[in-house]
Chain A
Amino acid sequence: GDSVTQMEGPVTLSEEAFLTINCTYTATGYPSLFWYVQYPGEGLQLLLKATKADDKGSNKGFEATYRKETTSFHLEKGSVQVSDSAVYFCALSDLSGGFKTIFGAGTRLFVKA
């Protein structure tokens, strides 16, 4: 079945550092890919998405590119801030799965001032 694999955390960075959180997926079809974020004490919310190969999703300075050849959707940000400290979840939704959304294990990010 479909699955999502994320790099294990926690990831600890200093403010203004470059961030990469790796995400790879397994799917039988052509899934749509998502990054969700869970800030401390808050519910999950969509950060960005991409629906087809080579699409780039972007929001709040974060970017991720849908790479079909490597089945990856890595999250990047050029300069992180303390306020980016959160748990980040990679997810997919695929026709073969009836469009149910499957999540990775999540990666916790700590940004130090």
Chain B
Amino acid sequence: GAGVSQSPSNKVTEKGKDVELRCDPISGHTALYWYRQSLGQGLEFLIYFQGNSAPDKSGLPSDRFSAERTGGSVSTLTIQRTQQEDSAVYLCASSFGQGPRELFFGEGSRLTVL
């Protein structure tokens, strides 16, 4: 596609429910990132996929959070048993190749946990 696509753009859920957020990166981009942006906070790194290497999961805040990337393209971030503190905008970004490259961001998925 022309850019990084994320869905849903908005998600309201009840505490304790599971949610899935999807990211479709730019075609051909080998690296894919998930970040979390909370109100008044910066960009919190969650997870990083680079090609066929094992993902860097060092930013996942708890074992309720997981992500996978199928076929080196689409990625799904799953949050189990959501809590109110999970409310945030979840941003996906992709980049081409290895090394320090420009990231291209999606518009984000805004999650609200009631």
Give Cα A45–Cα B105 distance, bound, in whole angstroms.
Answer: 7
Which residues from chain A contact B45 at a C-beta distance below 8 Å?
100-103
Chain A's nearest CB lies how many Å from the CB of B96? 12
List the B residue with the shortest CB-CB distance to A104.
B42
List the B residue with the shortest CB-CB distance to A32.
B100
Contacting pair B105 A43 (CB below 8 A)? yes
Chain B's nearest CB lies how many Å from the CB of A10? 10
Give Cα A67–Cα B50 distance, bound, in whole angstroms.
Answer: 29
Q: Confirm or deny: B25 has a beta carbon within 8 angstroms of a beta carbon on chain A.
A: no
- Which of A44, A51, A106 contacts B100, CB < 8 Å? A51
Give Cα A89–Cα B45 distance, bound, in whole angstroms.
Answer: 13
Please report the number of residue pairs spanning A and B whose Cβ atoms sit closer than 8 angstroms. Answer: 55
- What mask results when residues 67 to 92 of chain B are scored 1 for a CB within 8 Å of chain A, else 0? 00000000000000000000000010
Interface size on A, residues (CB 8 A): 23
Which residues from chain B contact A89 at a C-beta distance below 8 Å?
42-43
Which residues from chain A contact B43 at a C-beta distance below 8 Å?
44, 89, 103, 106
Which residues from chain B contact A32 at a C-beta distance below 8 Å?
100
Which residues from chain B contact A34 at a C-beta distance below 8 Å?
100, 102
Give Cα A6–Cα B102 distance, bound, in whole angstroms.
Answer: 20
Give Cα A98–Cα B43 distance, bound, in whole angstroms.
Answer: 18
Give Cα A105–Cα B56 distance, bound, in whole angstroms.
Answer: 21
Q: Confirm or deny: B62 has a beta carbon within 8 angstroms of a beta carbon on chain A.
A: no
Contacting pair A93 B100 (CB below 8 A)? yes
Which residues from chain B contact A105 at a C-beta distance below 8 Å?
41-42
Which residues from chain B contact A98 at a C-beta distance below 8 Å?
48, 50, 56
Which residues from chain B contact A45 at a C-beta distance below 8 Å?
105
Contacting pair B105 A106 (CB below 8 A)? no
Give Cα A44–Cα B50 distance, bound, in whole angstroms.
Answer: 20
Which residues from chain B contact A100 at a C-beta distance below 8 Å?
33, 45, 48, 56
List 10 extra interface pairs beyond A43-B91, A103-B43, CB under 8 A. Answer: A44-B105, A46-B103, A93-B101, A98-B56, A99-B99, A100-B45, A101-B93, A102-B45, A103-B42, A106-B42
